[in-house]
Amino acid sequence: MRPLPGTALFILLLICFFPRPALATYDSLEEIPVESPIYADLESLALRFGANGNFINRRPWTRGEALAYLDVLKGQDPSVAEDLSFARIYREASLDAPGARKPLLVRDEDEDRRLEISPYVQALYRENRDRRPTVNRDYRLGASASARASSRFLLFGDLYAGTASQGGHGTPNFGTKFALAEGIDFNAWLDRAYVALEGSPKPHRIRATLAHSWVRWGPGATGTLGVSDAAPALDRLGFDVGVLRELELSWFVASLDPVERRYYAASRMSVRLGDRLEIGIAEEARFDGSDQIFYYFIPAFPYTFIEKRVDAFAGGPDSTNKITKNNVMASADFSLDLTRGLRWYGEFLLDDYSISSTFKPKQIGWQTGFHAAREIDPRKILSARVEFTRIYDYVYTVWHGHDFELKGYPLGYVLGPDAEQAWGRVQLDWNVPWSASLEIARIRKGEGSIGNPWDPASGKVDNVPLSGVVERTLSANAGLEYRPMAGLALEGALGYSDMQNAEHVSGADRNHVTGELSLRARW
């Protein structure tokens, strides 16, 4: 892998010199992980009290952003501090909050130099005999550490030892040959790490991040269609620039395979139109060859133009199309508050778009949903959410091999192409620690998958219906969550799943009880 362009690194270092007020003795530059339940509380708070210029559909937030948002709400209406979503966010973002938990080790030399180390233990046991493998065990023992070297510079790392587990946030299966204890499935792994530099705060936020971590853009609850966290963490260099209070640009370039020089780039423009409507417009590209990286760091440079430029100046024939071709997707999402406590949201994805008259199948995806929340009293909130997602066959994949996938997982929607999901959830939060939920989902999955693209030589196809033997799953579960303080959570769920045509085998039906139990404790 060649070094990142000098221009990008120069920009990263230049941000150090932007003026910024001194921080309090707390690492407000630290990111809130994209999978954190705190985002559900942020969405609930914004739904009921307004977003106040913040971009709810862009993750990750920093703890400083969350605290600034709470301060604005409290300044407008002091009674919001009694809201349970407010209380949950506050204790996760501030050491001064009731229920907050200080790191085990804290070293302060002065206001701008600080070291924190927090060990943790995590245990997840999930059983679903409709799936293969039927049991997912994710046991971890690790520590996260953050080091602030100045008011605007932070280093963060999360290192753990754990068992092999499923999913994009799971632990890879390294076998037992290199295990910490020979013959036992327990390996060391890096969950996430990043170096963050931040310039002036909002409304002119400037942040640069060199990271091994996740990014998530879009409003979906079950997953987002473009940039999502369904795949393992990305090795990326990214920027977030607040042009105006109502306009922010975000972009990054990630290395998927440094040996084969496989890369992934994405850029997004987030816009707020008043306090009720948030819009996001994004573009993504899969390309090979490090010589092109510079152009993908220019957020206003359309990705389709890059392919034209490379093709025009290519030195020789490329029979594999690895260098002269890229795969480009575009997406647009919105979130509209219809009234206080009710919003309508959606996302549309267009893959490998072209204005050519040449036939291409409908490589699109779309998602829409409604989210409602109502305060029964300041310490009780009843919320409901419904969502429908449809991804057509051949999305995320293309005949010249530039697929939107990483280590077998889609970079977009978690189910991949040729799939649809109808999902609903009702939740009751009856005080700060306790939540109960009922959830139901219907999933229909065709035989299409990433790596099986449409071949132009095959002629016209109809990819609107789901393909082949369709696997159908209807599931429901009831869950209970207990979060008595920051860093401590106990969750359990019990459900039932009815699967037909399992693994696309006609007549292969499975009906089973499902269950899940998880614990996370951080000191």
Q: Supply angle C-alpha 410, 415, 419, rounded to 5.
A: 125
Question: Greater confidence, 373 or 183?
Answer: 373
Do residues 225 and 365 touch, judged by C-beta distance below 8 A? yes
Give per-residue pLDDT as tens, 452-487: 998 888 888 889 999 999 999 999 999 999 999 988
Q: Where are the domains of the chain?
A: 6-522
Helix, strand, coil share of the chain (percent; to 5): 15, 45, 40
pLDDT at 205: 76
Question: What's the average model confidence in pLDDT over 176-193?
Answer: 82
pLDDT at 355: 58
3-state secondary structure of 329: strand
Instruction: Work out the pLDDT band at 354, boundaries 50, 70, 90.
Output: low
Instruction: Work out the pLDDT band at 42, boundaries 50, 70, 90.
Output: very high
pLDDT at 322: 65
- % the chain with pLDDT above 70: 89
List of long-range contacts for 372-379, beta carbons under 8 Å, 24+ apart:
372/47, 372/341, 372/342, 372/343, 373/44, 373/47, 373/48, 373/341, 374/341, 375/48, 375/83, 378/79, 378/82, 378/83, 378/84, 379/82, 379/84, 379/430, 379/431, 379/432
pLDDT at 75: 92
Whether pLDDT at 62 is above 50: yes
Q: Tokens for 148?
A: 């602030």
Whether pLDDT at 114 is above 90: no
Give per-residue pLDDT as tens, 119-172: 999 999 999 877 777 899 999 999 999 998 888 899 999 999 999 999 999 999
Write out the DSSP string of 255-288: EEETTTTEEEEEEEEEEEETTTEEEEEEEEEEEE
- % the chain with pLDDT above 90: 64
Instruction: Work out the pLDDT band at 202, boundaries 50, 70, 90.
Output: low
pLDDT at 409: 95
Closest CA to 371 of 50, 44, 85, 38: 44
Q: What Cα–Cα distance (Å) separates residue 231 from each residue in 205, 214, 440, 449?
A: 28, 9, 24, 15
Instruction: Work out the pLDDT band at 25, boundaries 50, 70, 90.
Output: very low
pLDDT at 163: 92
pLDDT at 406: 96
Question: What's the average model confidence in pLDDT over 294-313?
Answer: 74
pLDDT at 336: 97
Can you give the pTM of this predicted structure? 0.89
Q: Tokens for 23?
A: 């921080």
Of 92-106, 429-443, 464-478, the range with the lowest mean pLDDT is 92-106
Question: What's the average model confidence in pLDDT over 183-197?
Answer: 90
Question: Greater confidence, 9 or 309?
Answer: 309
pLDDT at 294: 87
Question: What's the average model confidence in pLDDT over 395-402?
Answer: 91
Measured in whole angstroms, the distance separating CA 321 from the mean position of its chain's CA atoms is 30
Q: Supply angle C-alpha 435, 381, 425, rounded to 5.
A: 60
Q: How many CB atoms lie within 10 A of CB 429?
A: 25
Question: What's the average model confidence in pLDDT over 63-81?
Answer: 92
Tokens 């590209």 found at: 285
Question: Greater confidence, 282 or 150?
Answer: 282
pLDDT at 301: 78
**CA atoms within 13 Å, Cβ hemisphere of 98:** 8
Instruction: Work out the pLDDT band at 99, boundaries 50, 70, 90.
Output: confident
The whole-chain average pLDDT of the chain stands at: 87
Question: What's the average model confidence in pLDDT over 48-55?
Answer: 91
pLDDT at 310: 58
Closest CA to 430 of 487, 384, 375: 375
End-to-end Cα spacing for the chain: 38
What is the identity of the amino acid at 94?
S
Write out the DSSP string of 118-145: EEEEEEEEEEETTSSSSEEEEEEEEEEE
Which residues, 6 or more positions from 159, have their beta carbon under 8 angstroms from its beta carbon? 142, 143, 144, 188, 189, 190, 191
CA-based max dimension of the chain: 70
CA distance 409 to 387: 22
Give per-residue pLDDT as tens, 493-508: 999 999 999 999 999 9
Architecture of domain 6-522: Beta Barrel (2.40)
pLDDT at 273: 93
pLDDT at 309: 65
Whether pLDDT at 10 is above 50: no
CA distance 131 to 370: 29
**CA atoms within 13 Å, Cβ hemisphere of 70:** 24
Question: What's the average model confidence in pLDDT over 194-211?
Answer: 83
Whether pLDDT at 312 is above 70: no
